[in-house]
Amino acid sequence: MFTIEHDFDATVITLVDEGSPHLHEDVTITAFEDCVTLEQLDPQTDKVMKITFSTRQLQELAAALDLPEGVYRARPAGKPDGST
In a domain, 53, yes or no: yes
Q: Give me the mean pLDDT over the 74-84 stretch.
A: 58
In a domain, 22, yes or no: yes
Range of the domain at 33: 2-64
Question: With bands split at pLDDT 50, 70 and 90, how would you rate the model's confidence at 84?
Answer: very low
Q: Give me the mean pLDDT over the 67-79 stretch.
A: 75
In a domain, 28, yes or no: yes
In a domain, 12, yes or no: yes
* Model confidence, pTM: 0.77
Q: Is 37 exposed, middle or buried (0-12, 13-18, 19+ CB in 10 A)?
A: middle
Q: What is the pLDDT of residues 11-47, one digit of tens each?
A: 999 998 887 777 889 999 999 999 999 999 999 999 9
- The pLDDT assigned to 2 comes to 87
